[in-house]
């Protein structure tokens, strides 16, 4: 399954394309950051980001477009920009008849690291490990877009149903697993392995 993930932003919009396989392995197809100038007029910025997203959609032909779900922030201008780009991306997906997956940041973090409060470096480290990359994807907009694509692909495989609006099982924390006597999840095991490998390089 080919997923195109979008980390929406008006100044920097991360777009990552990933192939996700039934065994939960994943392969990087493409990743880019569409940028606009803060001094440009809003309608031109929205058009530029929309054109950038649609060009990648048409080039790679994903099955699903995964977008970070807008959530409340103290910075109103930031959340407005995110919401506007999200709308542009949704329209582009609808025009092409593509399924859309909306995920919150905590859902994405839990999916790829096993921990819903992971920081950006932890997310980037796991994305690099999952995709077999030699270096961490940068900037954070790029790694976040790839993480969104991976999350959507894994959740689609779990649900085996239409993706848009499909709630996925809540990720359990490592604390809850320990209390229940369960072993680590696949994502948690991969994260621990990545941590050990990183310590071994020091």
**Residues taking part in catalysis:** 7, 68, 141
Q: Is 141 annotated as a binding residue?
A: yes
Q: Is 68 annotated as a binding residue?
A: yes
Q: Which two structure tokens, joined as six digits, stand for 26?
A: 């994943």
- Name every residue whose Cβ is closer than 8 Å to that of residue 180 and which is 6 or more positions away in sequence: 172
Q: Are 6 and 70 in contact (CB under 8 A)?
A: no
Q: Is 55 annotated as a binding residue?
A: no
Burial, 178: exposed, middle or buried (Cβ in 10 Å; 0-12, 13-18, 19+)?
A: exposed
Reported residue count of the chain is: 202
The DSSP secondary-structure symbol of 69 reads P
Place of tokens 């930031």: 78
Binding-site positions read: 7, 68, 141
What residues form the annotated binding site for Mg(2+)?
7, 68, 141
């Amino acid at each position: 399954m080919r997923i195109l993930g979008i980390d929406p932003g008006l100044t920097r919009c991360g777009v990552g394309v990933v192939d996700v396989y039934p065994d939960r392995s994943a392969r990087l197809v493409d990743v880019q950051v569409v940028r606009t100038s803060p001094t440009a007029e809003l309608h031109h910025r929205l058009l530029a980001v929309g054109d950038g997203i649609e060009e990648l959609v048409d080039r790679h032909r994903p099955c699903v477009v995964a977008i970070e779900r807008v959530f409340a922030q103290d910075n109103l201008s930031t959340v407005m920009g995110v919401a506007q780009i999200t709308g542009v991306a949704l329209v582009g997906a609808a025009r092409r008849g593509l399924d859309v997956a909306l995920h919150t940041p905590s859902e994405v973090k839990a999916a790829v690291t096993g921990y819903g409060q992971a920081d950006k470096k932890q997310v980037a480290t796991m994305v690099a490990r999952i995709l077999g990359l030699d270096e961490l994807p940068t900037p954070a907009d790029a790694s976040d877009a790839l993480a969104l694509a991976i999350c959507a692909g894994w959740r689609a495989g779990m649900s085996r149903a239409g993706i848009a609006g499909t709630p996925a099982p809540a990720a359990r924390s490592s604390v809850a697993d320990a209390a229940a006597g369960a072993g680590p999840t696949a994502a948690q095991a991969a994260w621990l392995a990545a941590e050990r490998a990183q310590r071994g390089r020091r």
